[in-house]
Amino acid sequence: MNDRVLRVQDLAVHFKLREGLFFKARTYTLKAVNGVSFELNAGETLGIVGETGCGKSTLARAILGLIKPSRGRVLWLGEDLGKLDEEALRKKREDLQIIFQDPLAALDPRMTVRDIIAEPLWTFYPRIARVQVDERVRGMMKMVGLLPNQVNRYPHEFSLGQCQRIGIARALVLNPKLVVCDEPVSALDVSIQAQIINLLKDLQKMLNLSLVFIAHDLSVVRHISDRVMVMYLGRAMEISTQKALYRRPLHPYTSALIKAVPVPDPRLARIASDTGLTGDMPSPLDPPAGCVFHGRCPYVVKRCELEVPALRRMENGDWVACHRAEELDLTIGKSST
């Protein structure tokens, strides 16, 4: 499991926005993703967690080349995706797939399930026989837990959970190596979330997929990730193994996120601790100087306002971007110092 398949280096995506007319016009730069680096090995799952505005969805699309990065590189199996022309990049899509957040919107409402799942096949194998397509589509449907006799139905005739299964079938029909899951369970009901996460785990094992699993909630990624990256305002705050992160997070923001998740246990919930965060999230149009988190951090010192902390490696192999990482002990369950 040590073969690295994906390497992202200092990736940034900046959007230029114009406001006002003519002479009063001002351009703002929206730094959606502002310098993110990480690696992914074959068969591994990296969970990416962050709240609204942290840039995780933009990051997902930049990794796949659906959005052009403003800076940085994405190396897939050693090859720089940014250097490929349109056609070459298109061919790579056989290996790089995505599952979307809104299960129904991700499906063309006027196509049958069969057509939706078959489309990637037609695209990459234009001469493929009808019979073969049909066989493969039905096989995929069975694999994701859908009854094959539903092939002729339309997306609006399915529940959201089933729509997501269709989306997963479509993403996997070409046997990709990397699947980016952009908040795949956020729109689903609680018990369906568990179904879909279990499905993804099984499929990953079966097909040896590498997954990038994006969510806004730490409890969601826990069950599926090997490592977790926490993002805030376009930057990575921490990248740790799953076990370590949930026991002893390295970054104050991670600790706040963990404390913020409501525990479904009345006795524990009553003594739930304050997240420790103050204020609201700043706008990505105008990120604070120094550490982007310093305005809300309960452990802030002078240095945090002036200097941007680099993402650095700690003793146990995990990464964190915090000036005070060595001194803070954010073990869950211990009251904050």
Partner 1 sequence: MTLLEVKDLDVSFETHDGEVHAVSKLSFSIDAGDALAIVGESGCGKTQSMMAVMGLLTENGKASGQALFKGKDLLQMNVADLNKRRGKEIAMIFQDSMTSLNPYLRIEKQMIEVLMHHQGLDKAEARGHAIEMLRAVRIADPERRIRQYPHEYSGGMRQRVMVAMGLLCQPDLLIADEPTTALDVTVQAQISRLMTELRAKSNTAIILITHNLGVVAGLCDRVLVMYAGQAVECGTVEQIFYQARHPYTRGLLKSVLRLDQPGDTGLEAIPGNPPSLLSLPAGCRFRERCPQAHDACCEMPPMRRDEQGHTWRCFLDQVDE
Partner 2 sequence: MTKSTDNSSFDPFEAALGVRDLKGRSPWEDAWYRLLKNRAAVCSAFIMGGMILLVLVGPMVISWESDFTDWDFTSSPPSFSSGHWFGTDAVGRDILVRTLEGGRISLLVGLVATLVSLIIGVSYGAIAGYFGGTADRIMMQVVDIIYALPFLFFVILLMVVFGRHIVLIFVAIGAVNWLDMARIVRGQTLSIKNMEFIEAARACGVTPWNIIRRHIIPNLMGVVIIYVTLTIPQVILIESFLSFLGLGVQEPMSSWGALVSDGAQDMESAPWTLIVPAVFLTVTLYCFNYIGDGLRDALDPKDRL
Whose structure tokens read 């997929």? 209
Restricting to residues 68-97, which ones interact with partner 2 according to CB under 8 A?
Answer: 90-91, 93-94, 97
CB of 13 or CB of 192, closer to partner 1: 192
Closest Cα to residue 84, out of 249, 170, 92?
A: 92
Interaction of residue 257 with partner 1, rule CB under 8 A: yes
9 binds, among partner 2, partner 1, none (CB under 5 to 8 A by kind): none
Residue among 36, 46, 107, 300 that touches partner 2 (CB under 8 A):
107
CB of 171 or CB of 231, closer to partner 2: 171
Residue among 76, 100, 232, 293 that touches partner 2 (CB under 8 A):
100
Number of H helices, E strands in the chain: 11, 12
Interaction of residue 181 with partner 1, rule CB under 8 A: no
Interaction of residue 102 with partner 1, rule CB under 8 A: no
CB of 84 or CB of 281, closer to partner 1: 281
Residue among 156, 267, 270, 334 that touches partner 2 (CB under 8 A):
156
| Start-to-end CA span in the chain (Å) | 39
**Residue 262 corresponds to which tokens in the numbers above?**
């409501």
314 binds, among partner 2, partner 1, none (CB under 5 to 8 A by kind): none
Residue among 17, 88, 123, 327 that touches partner 2 (CB under 8 A):
123
Segment contacting partner 2 (CB under 8 A): 28-36, 99-107, 203-211, 328-336?
99-107
Residues 6+ apart with CB under 8 A from 63: 6, 8, 11, 74, 96, 180, 212
Residue among 32, 143, 256, 291 that touches partner 1 (CB under 8 A):
256
Beta-sheet pairing, 178-182 with 96-99: parallel
DSSP string over 242-274: HHHHHHS-SSHHHHHHHHHSPPS-HHHHHTPPP
H helix or E strand, kind and range, residue 220 = helix 218-222
Interaction of residue 161 with partner 2, rule CB under 8 A: no
- List C-alpha distances in Å: 51 to 55, 234, 254, 308: 9, 10, 11, 20
Restricting to residues 294-323, which ones interact with partner 2 according to CB under 8 A?
Answer: none
CA–CA gap between residue 283 and residue 123 (Å, rounded): 40
Interaction of residue 102 with partner 2, rule CB under 8 A: yes
Binding site for partner 1 (CB under 8 A): 51-52, 159-162, 189-195, 197-198, 216-220, 222-223, 225, 242-243, 246, 256-270, 272, 275, 277, 279-281
